[in-house]
Amino acid sequence: MNLKGKHILVTAGPTHEPIDPVRVIANRSSGRQGFAIANAAAEAGAVVTLVAGPVALEVSDNIDRTDVETAEQMADAVMTSLPADAAILVAAVADWRVEPSPVKLKKSAGPPKLKWLPNRDILAELAASPKRPKLVVGFAAETDSVIENAIAKQITKGADWIVANDVSGDVMGGHRNRIHLVTGGGVEHWPEMDKEEVAHRLIERIAKELQ
């Protein structure tokens, strides 16, 4: 596989949406799959931009890494990283945020009343951008109807491919993954493998598509 001269944009990890100066809304994403994909793209010769949520992972020195916390920050970092030949949006971005309190919420005051607001849809925004990459790949972490939900996401978000996986077990935070690749040509069912193996196989598919 050869991605020499190609710019690959990858997002990875969770986002943290603040509730107050102490607490955040988060999820169980470890960032391992996204970081493995970024490393595999760099090994294939690509110029790689990695936009990473708050995770304690290292990445190759030749990767341009931007660390963010919130979905809004991640969306801004993705859009300012364009143009790119391919975007692989692996990050588990929070769908919702709240208006954060400027001071710590006290337990003695009882359960807080939180005003929920939708976050930007980075995948849909990128797919509709005038600077849209040639290949836009989204991830779908599902707990039921995995294939059906992934196909629906591909259509509604305007993505070229969706990488779907069942996260009802220990995938989020674990070292192995079993994915289903939804493309315009159908659905590919990949066997369970290490996340590094998933990354190399996906980058190999992307390299073929870009050529």
pLDDT 10s digit of each residue in the chain, 211 long?
Answer: 689 999 999 999 999 999 999 999 999 899 999 999 999 999 999 999 999 999 999 998 999 999 999 999 999 999 999 999 999 999 999 999 999 999 999 999 999 889 999 999 999 999 999 999 999 999 998 888 999 999 999 999 999 999 998 887 665 667 888 999 999 999 999 999 999 999 999 999 999 999 8
Measured distance CA(120)–CA(72) in Å, rounded? 7
* pLDDT at residue 40 in the model: 97
The domains found in the chain, sorted by start residue, are 7-210 (3.40.50.10300)
Decide if 21 contacts 44 (C-beta within 8 A).
no
Q: Please give the backbone phi and psi of residue 13, each rounded to the nearest 5 degrees, phi first.
A: 85, -175
pLDDT of residue 173: 62
Q: Is 27 a catalytic residue?
A: yes
Q: Does pTM surpass 0.85?
A: yes
Q: What are phi and psi of 28, to 5 degrees?
A: -90, 5
Count of Cβ atoms closer than 10 Å to residue 128 Cβ: 12
Angle of helix 195-210 relative to helix 32-43, nearest 10 degrees? 50
Active-site option among 2, 27, 149, 165? 27
